[in-house]
Amino acid sequence: MMVRLTAALRDLYRDETELAAALLRVADRHGADPELHHGCHDLARWSEQHATDLVEAGRRYGLGVSEPAGYGAGYGAAVDGAAADAVDPGLLLLADLRDLHRRSAGVVLDWDVVAQAAQALRDRELLALAQASRTQAERQLAWSKALVKASAAQIMTSPPQDAS
C-alpha cells in the first residue's frame, strides 16, 4: 500500500548512489585540483552512507535493493570520459560542478519528500534519517555552488589556451 513511498525511496537510493558515483568520477578527472578532488571523496562517503541507511530504513517499505558495493568501488561508468578529454578544462570543471549541483539539488528534494511522508506516517526513525541526510545533502549542494563561485571569474576571464 506504500507503493508510491517505495518508489520514492528507490528513486532516492538511485540518486544518492549516482551522486556518489558522479562525485568519484569528478574526483578522478580533477586530481590536480585537490580541493575538488578530496572534497568529492569526502562527500561521496556521505552519499554512500545515506544510501546504506536508506536500505536499512526502507526495508519496511519494501525497498529491495542491495547495499552499495562499498566505498569507491563499482559505481557507474565514466560515461563521458573520452569526450571530456577534448573539452577546455576550465569549462569542463564548471560543467562537472554544475552536474554535481543539479544532482545534489535533486537529492535534497527527494529527502524532503521522504521527510514529509515519514512525518505523516509518524515514522520517527525514517524522519530522523531524512532530516540528518537532508542536512548533509544541502551541504553538498552549497559546496558545489561555492566552488563554482570561487573559480568562475578566473575561468571566464582568462583565454582558453591557458589551460594545460
Partner 1 sequence: MGRIDRIAEPWGTRTPYGPGETWPTRVDSYLADGLDEHDVDRWVQSATVLHSNGDALDIAVKDGRIAGVRGRAGDRVNHGRLGPKDLYGWQANHSPDRLTEPLVRRGGELVPADWDTAMDAVAGRTRELLDERGPGSVGFYTTGQLFLEEYYTLAVIAHGGIGTNHLDGNTRLCTATAGESLKESFGSDGQPGSYTDVDHADVIALYGHNVAETQTVLWTRMLDRLAGPNPPRLLCVDPRQTPVADAATVHLAPRPGTNLMLMNALLHEIVAHDWVDHDWVSRHTTGFDDLRAQVADCPPERAAEVCDVPAGDIRAAAQLLGSAERLLSTVLQGFYQSHQATAAAVQVNNVHLVRGMLGRPGCGVLQMNGQPTAQNTRECGADGDLPGFRNWANPAHVEDLARLWNVDPLRIPHYGPPTNLMQILRYAEQGSIRFLYVTGTNPAVSLPELARVRRVLAQERLFLVVQDIFLTETAQLADVVLPAATWGEKTGTFTNVDRTVHLSEKAVDPPGGARPDLDILLDYARRLELADQDGAPLVTWTDAEGAFEAWKACSAGRPCDYSGLSYDQLRGRSGIQWPVNDAHPGGTERLYADGVFPTDPGYCETYGRDLVTGAPVEPTAYRAANPSGRALIKPAEYVPPHEPPDDAHPFVLTTGRTLYHFHTRTKTGRAPQLQRAAPDVWVEVSDDDARAHGWDEGDLLRITTERGSVEARLRISGIRPGVVFLPFHYGYWDTPGGYRPGGANSADGAHGRAANELTPTDWDPASKQPLFKTAAAAVERIAAGDGSPAPAPTTTASRPVRDVGTHTRGDERSLALETLPDGGAR
Neighbouring residues of 158: CB distance < 8 A, sequence distance ≥ 6: 90
Nearer Cβ to partner 1, position 90 or 106? Answer: 90
154 forms part of the interface with partner 1 (CB under 8 A): yes
Which cell is 161 given?
Answer: 589556451
Which cell is 36 given?
Answer: 575538488
CB of 11 to partner 1, least distance (A): 25
CA distances from 133 to 16, 86, 93, 109, 161 (A): 10, 36, 26, 11, 41
7 forms part of the interface with partner 1 (CB under 8 A): no
Q: What is the distance, to the nearest Å, from the Cα of residue 71 to the centroid of all Cα atoms in its chain?
A: 14
For cell 568529492, name the residue: 40
67 forms part of the interface with partner 1 (CB under 8 A): no
Nearer Cβ to partner 1, position 8 or 92? Answer: 92
Give the residue, chosen from 11, 18, 45, 99, that forms a contact with partner 1 under the rule CB under 8 A: 45
164 forms part of the interface with partner 1 (CB under 8 A): yes
For cell 578527472, name the residue: 29
Nearer Cβ to partner 1, position 5 or 44? Answer: 44
Site for partner 1 in 15-34 (CB under 8 A): 32-34
Which cell is 87 given?
Answer: 573539452
Which cell is 17 given?
Answer: 548512489
CB of 86 to partner 1, least distance (A): 17
Q: Given the rule CB under 8 A, which residues bind partner 1?
A: 32-35, 38-39, 41-43, 45, 89-90, 139-140, 142-143, 145-146, 149-150, 152-155, 157-159, 162-164
